[in-house]
Amino acid sequence: MRGLHRLYLASGLLSAASLVLICVLILAQVVARNLGSTVRDAEEFAAWAMAAAGFFGLPYALHCGSHIRVSAVARFVPESLHHVMEVLASAIGLALAAYLAWYCSAFVLESFRFNEVSQGLVPVPMWMVQVPMVLGSILLVVAFAERLVRVLQHQPFEIGDGEERSE
Amino acid sequence: MDMTWISVVLIGSLFLLLAMGVWVAPALLAVGLVAMHFFADAPAGSILATTSWASSASWTMTALPLFIWMGEILFRTKLSDDMFAGLAPWVEKLPGRLLHVNVFGCGIFAAVSGSSAATAATIGRISLPELRSRGYPEAISIGSLAGSGTLGLLIPPSIIMIVYGVAAQVSVARLFIAGVLPGLLLMTLFSGYVMIWSLLNKQQIPAAGLAMRFAAKVYATRRLIPVVLLILGVIGSIYAGYATATEAAAIGVVGALLIAGFSGMLNRTTMLASLLGAVRTSTMIFFILLGAAYLTSAMSFTGLPAALASWIAGERLPAWALLTALTVFFIVLGCFLDGISIVLLTTSVILPAVQAAGIDLLWFGIYVVVVVEMAQITPPVGFNLFVVQNLTGKDIFTVARASFPFFLLMVVATVAITVFPEIVMSLPRAMTAR
Amino acid sequence: ADKWNMSAEQPDGNYITVVARDFAADVAKATNGALEIKVHSNSVLFKRPDLKRAVQTGQVQVGDVLISVLGNEDPIYEVDAVPLLARDFDSAWKLWQASRATMEARLAKQGIKLLYSVPWPPQGIYTKVPVKQMSDFKGMKFRAYNAATSRMVELMGASPTTVNSGDVPQAFGTGLIEAMITSPATGVDSQAWDFAKYYYDVQAFIPKNVAMVNARAFNQLPAASQKAVLAAAERAEKRGWDTARKQTSELTDKLAKNGMTVGPTPPAINADLAKVGATMADEWLKKAGPDGKAIIDQARR
Ligand code: NA
Ligand code: NA
């Protein structure tokens, strides 16, 4: 399981790197414009970095317990039912993540087969910038699968985010 | 297929999934899938992939994680402590004291951010820990944050106004100007409520600090200098024409890094911690936005919102009755869909009826924005609720209850701009006269 | 009965979407309801970059898109966006007739059937300050939105600036951009008089939206419905081009009525623009090869 956790963190770091890339691209664009020049397709590249940041962040955020869910109901049900709910929620999460990953992979494969190129100044093969979508969603499947296993073993999955809460 | 039946199935499955503890984003995806599979004749899976890509590779969205990152950096500096310490001496006499920081902080931040979630997340990251450590009561702290965060939509710039402007072919420049006075009205209402609440609950507000002489107050104010410089820098970059509203977020990050650098708090650890913090929060919002985009697409394929809207539009109601009906309709829709989806799914059907009733489309745009602001804090799907849950760990229904008074104040504002349309129309009219 | 969805790019007030709705109504009438097309406007279903592929893979049966955005895939698609090549509706129509067959063949290879085209009004230049000669553009921050307009702006001596379409009004207001090139339709839709003062009816080029249908979905229709769709498409094209001609002067008048100074291209600029146009056409021909040359030769005949 250690290996998996490193994988989620690595994915989170890739997401962080994409965030930095967005910031750098936008700043470069602002500076260039005010010097009377432009950075080619900075907007498009920033948008792709946004997609990368989002998808790479998915498994890491799940592992940190950052994705939002309603916890009010769980407080009013007995322990045994709560466990069943946790199993079901994890299983549904896993199924949906798998569905998403499957169709995202098919989508990117199609981009490759159709030779899709971007519409900006520089024609970039779309599959290249869409790879993070595939990797992120597949890692999300892995994370949900691990969560399901953990819950079945009555073990915690989320490691928390290490931040204080006001509760 | 009967529209009532479809609504019942979809709303029922959303509630069931959420109650079971399924995460919000997968729950929205699941409802979208149900709608696509059973009530629309369209390939659900490949549309999911297309929508996922289209909604995530978005230039407009880049401002959100950057502003959140900015908040994460500032949270790790002494800026928030400085800001509260600098303000405290001046608000001792004001009922509610530092509680007003949420209202005014969000109001000012709304002038650079076009989104309600980014506003609530950035200001809340700084204000909530400070309010808590100073002993301010929790419910009103989080309620005023969730409520005031919605100002991001009404005070220009505003993403939702751009969306409405395009759909209704109304000038975005005018919408921006028209939002200013209603935005100030809402801030007044929010601050007024905080004052009245504080007068009624005096024992819950922490005791005042030592009375300071004026000179001492001014001296304490020096601690506000970094905040003021940051705000001026970011707002200035937009209004002096150096950057667009979307780009201003990157300027904000640079400003925050400078502040952190000068206060000696910028090192590898804080840099990485701030980035990963930004990743967690923005990914959470990103995933829900993805789910919402898919649900929007599914809704458009089923034609459900359009059918409901055209039913209301077809009743040929007089203006006041139409607006009342639409308000109820938007509030209900706002419980389940996000603001941009509501505008995208309903405007094309509603606008002809609105025009026929003699309602000005510019005014209607501001009305829609205020109603969409309400949607940000109504459960189960309300983005500011998610942001505050993320900040505090409180359940969304708890946050929603704390935000409810601010929801009512927005209803009051809706009535006010309906009775006195000048609140909306006077500034854009002055602009035309120029 | 068959039920189709159509993804329309523009909002309902735009005549291109009006034509799409008329097309759908026309089909329903001609087939006696055997084929129903539900039109979803304002890119709610699919945005510009995704539309062609959504039609190609059958996610939606019909859709329309600004065809020149596909130019990176094949330069043939952007022939109508080569600035200063076809500057009035007659030449634009000739260019469309000359390019249609090639375009149809390219799309057919991808399982797409071309239905009809609707032109935008000719593209004009919006500025904050008046211009009299080409040198007035020197260093001006001029919004460009694709490779071709970028190049044109560069050749005009201005500095091409990219600003997302949603940010345009505010960017004009704050001085981040000082000029842009777009149609009077977009100018009216975004109420350009709120931020720009001058409109020059340069008629730089006439871009088109092209409606397309998934070939498999089309082939599965009964023969009578197929015929009805093609007939309706032909009528839609005629209606689209007629409306565009009629609307162009109305829209330009609207700009004037709202206080903009509307005028033709200043004569000094026109001569220089011709040079820019020649350069751009040469550059496009280099990309498009013999197919492109054949199209331009035929259009010029
Ligand atoms: Na704002
Ligand atoms: Na809501």
Ordered by start, the domain boundaries in chain A are: 2-161
Grouping H, G, I as helix, E, B as strand and the rest as coil, residue B118 is: helix
Q: What is the mean pLDDT of residues B236-264?
A: 91
pLDDT band at B160 (very low <50, low <70, confident <90, very high): very high
Per-residue DSSP letter, B410: H
| Lowest mean pLDDT across A115-124, A139-148, C28-37, C106-115 | A115-124
Which positions in chain B touch A89 (Cβ < 8 Å)?
A: 20-23
Angle, CA of B154, B306 and B2, to the nearest 5°: 140
| Contacting residues of A for C146, CB less than 8 Å apart | 119-121
Q: To 10 degrees, what angle do helices B159-168 and B172-200 make? A: 140
pLDDT of C57 above 50:
yes
CB A111 within 8 A of CB A130: yes
Please check the confidence at residue B240 and state whether its pLDDT lies above 80. Answer: yes
Q: Which of C175, C190, C86, C181 is nearest to C125 (CA)?
A: C181
pLDDT at A118 over 60: yes
DSSP string, B163-203: HHHHHHT--HHHHHHHHHHHHHHHHHHHHHHHHHHHHHTGG
Domain count, chain B: 1
Residue B260 lies in a domain: yes
Report d(CA B288, CA B58) in Å as an integer: 15
| Mean pLDDT for all residues in chain C | 94
Give the per-residue pLDDT at C167.
85
Residue B392 domain-assigned?
yes
State how far Cα B152 lies from the chain centre.
5
pLDDT for B343: 93
User: Does residue B308 have a pLDDT over 90?
Assistant: no
pLDDT of residue A167: 42
The pLDDT value recorded for residue C264 is 94
Sequence-distant (≥ 6) Cβ neighbours of residue C194 within 8 angstroms: B171, B173, B174, B431, C169
Helix B44-56 / helix A79-113 crossing angle, nearest 10 deg: 80
Q: What percent of chain C has pLDDT over 90?
A: 85
CB contact under 8 A, B296 and C44: yes
Decide if C212 contacts C103 (C-beta within 8 A): no
Question: Is pLDDT at C127 greater than 60 in this prediction?
Answer: yes
pTM of the entire structure?
Answer: 0.94
Per-residue confidence (pLDDT) for residue C92, from 0 to 100: 96
* Nearest alpha carbon to residue A15 among B424, C156, B283: B283
- Residue A121: the pLDDT is 82
Q: What residues of B are in contact with residue A53 (Cβ under 8 Å)?
A: 65, 279, 282-283, 286
Give the lowest-confidence range in B304-318, B407-421, C229-243: B304-318
pLDDT tier at B213, thresholds 50, 70, 90? confident
Nearest ligand atom owner, CA of B332: 2
Question: So what's the ipTM on this one?
Answer: 0.93
Q: Do A66 and B129 touch (CB under 8 A)?
A: no
Mean pLDDT for B36-52 is 94
Could you read off the pLDDT of B327-384 as tens digits, one per residue?
Answer: 999 999 999 998 889 999 998 889 989 998 999 999 999 999 999 999 999 999 999 9
Over residues B70-74, the mean pLDDT reads 93
In the predicted model, is pLDDT for residue C291 greater than 90? yes
Neighbours of C33 (CB within 10 A): 11
Half-sphere exposure of B156 (CA within 13 A, CB side): 23
Distance CA B294, CA B384 (A): 20
pLDDT of residue B433: 58
> What confidence category does residue A132 fall into, taking pLDDT thresholds of 50, 70 and 90?
very high
Please report whether residue B4 resides in a domain.
no
pLDDT attached to residue B146: 97
Confidence of residue A1 (pLDDT cuts 50, 70, 90): low
Q: What is the per-residue DSSP string for B195-240?
A: HHHHHHTGGGSPPP-----HHHHHHHHGGGHHHHHHHHHHHHHHHT
Contact B45 A99 (CB under 8 A): yes
* pLDDT given for residue A143 in this prediction: 98
pLDDT in tens, A36-85: 888 888 989 999 999 999 999 999 999 999 999 988 888 889 999 999 99
| CB contacts, 8 Å: B396 with chain A | 68, 70, 72
The Å distance, Cα B385 to ligand 2 centre, comes to: 8
Closest-CA residue of chain A to C49 = A119
At B3, the pLDDT band (50, 70, 90 cuts) reads: confident
Collapsing DSSP states into helix, strand and coil, what is residue C93? Answer: helix
> Where in the sequence is the domain holding B137, given as residue range(s)?
13-433
Q: Do the Cβ atoms of A110 and C161 come within 8 Å? A: no
Residue A164's pLDDT is: 59
Secondary structure of residue A100 in the 3-state scheme: helix
CB B173 within 8 A of CB C169: yes
